Amino acid sequence: MSGLLEIWGTLPAYAQATFWILVVTVALILSVAFTTLWERKVIGWMQLRKGPNRVGSIFGLLPGIFQPFADVIKLLLKEVVLPSKANKWLFRVAPAITLVPAFAAWAVMPLDPGLVIADIDAGLLYVLSLTSVGVYGIILAGWAANSKYAFLGAMRSSAQVVAYEIAMGFALVGVVMAAGTLNLGDIVRAQQGGVGDWFFIWLFPLFVVYLIAGVAETNRAPFDVAEGESEIVAGFHVEYSGIAFALFFLAEYANMILISALTAVFFLGGWLSPFEGLLAADNALAKPGFHWLFLKLFFFLTCFMWYRATFPRYRYDQIMRLGWKVLIPVTLVWIAVAAVMVHFRVGPWSPN
């Protein structure tokens, strides 16, 4: 083991980075696969059903555990139908454009006290700019398919994403003011000192706004008018089939995982332990680590499913009203409050 570590230490930085990129990407793809299963299970339990339980089991336990693989194989073997009047090139590129940003944003995610692939100072801006690029895939998919329903879905989606991006950005302004940095790792470190120092307590309105805007940004229920299967069939991806459709599916779940992880980093102290300060420093539970980030991420991910099973879909004008007239004013007020708190050193933070 120590021999391996020695070899690892001699590797050049780019080789280590490539290794971690591979690990994160593979882990993400597997997580996305099992998130789909987890969603169907959770919603099944909420609706007093069993959910998928036919495909595979591990020694009789966890029935249905291999359902994601069955789904992937099915989708891979299906034909990708290309509509005859579609813009062929854009139609093929659009799914990839939605997928790439959802994965690329993980480059700056602080996964562990000592592990972040690219430790850059403008990390938060990088995440924001990448997530805002993802909407291109949706717009292009809707336009290139040359179908009325797809186009309607794309228009709805772009207006919605642009509106909620503002609320989301403003919510993050509060986080940046509190942490005094744009570096995601330093934002986590700024919340050190126990649960009382996590930003979700001091920036509670911004935390709620970020949660809501995150759901809207990922086009998830109750903000899924871009798909709106009862009105516009499946919205922007109505003409997609087979693995091209699967890519959109993958992107949606990858975005959910990303937003959950970001919420944990910005407001719940990322990889920090909730028992920090409560237990002795050498207690295993008080130590920071990736498992805490994972637990927080998993909680928010399950919340996404909970919303979907609970809330009816918003009407389009209600979505716009909520975004522009409720969320943005709330963030503006709390940014002012946060400014006062930072200035007079109320709260746990000390800028710089």
Partner 1 sequence: MFVQILFYAFSAVLIAAALGVILSRNPVHSALALVLAFFTSAALWLLIEVEFLAIVLVLVYVGAVMVLFLFVVMMLDINVEGLRSGFTRYAWLGALTALVVIVQMVSVYWVKGLGIDATQGAPPLPADYSNTRALGEVLYTQYVYPFELAAMLLLVAIVAAIALTMRRRPGLKAQDVAKQVAVRREDRVRIVKDVDAGGTGPGAGGGTGEGGAR
Binding of residue 62 to partner 1 (CB under 8 A): no
- Shortest distance, CB of residue 239 to partner 1, whole angstroms? 16
DSSP 32: H
- Shortest distance, CB of residue 297 to partner 1, whole angstroms? 24
DSSP 238: T
Q: Are 273 and 288 in contact (CB under 8 A)?
A: yes
Select from 86, 105, 109, 135 the one that contacts partner 1 (CB under 8 A): 135
Binding of residue 265 to partner 1 (CB under 8 A): no
Q: Are 243 and 299 in contact (CB under 8 A)?
A: no
- The single-letter code of the amino acid at 338 is A
Binding of residue 319 to partner 1 (CB under 8 A): no
Interaction pattern, residues 219-258, with partner 1; x per rule: CB under 8 A: ----------------------------------------
Binding of residue 17 to partner 1 (CB under 8 A): no
Quickly count: other Cβ atoms within 10 Å of residue 335's Cβ. Answer: 18
C-alpha closest to that of 259 among 161, 326, 138, 193:
161
Select from 17, 55, 125, 177 the one that contacts partner 1 (CB under 8 A): 125
Q: Three-state DSSP class for 279?
A: strand
C-alpha closest to that of 200 among 154, 152, 253, 266:
266
Binding of residue 103 to partner 1 (CB under 8 A): no
Q: What are phi and psi of 180, to 5 degrees?
A: 70, 25
Q: What are 260's two structure tokens?
A: 């959950």
Report the residue number, 238 or 272, with the smaller CB distance to partner 1: 238
CA-derived radius of gyration, the chain = 21
Interaction pattern, residues 154-173, with partner 1; x per rule: CB under 8 A: xx--xx-xx--x--------
Residues 25-54 within binding reach of partner 1 (CB under 8 A): none
Positions touching partner 1 (CB under 8 A) are 90, 120-122, 125-126, 128-130, 132-133, 135-136, 139-140, 143, 151, 154-155, 158-159, 161-162, 165, 182, 317, 321
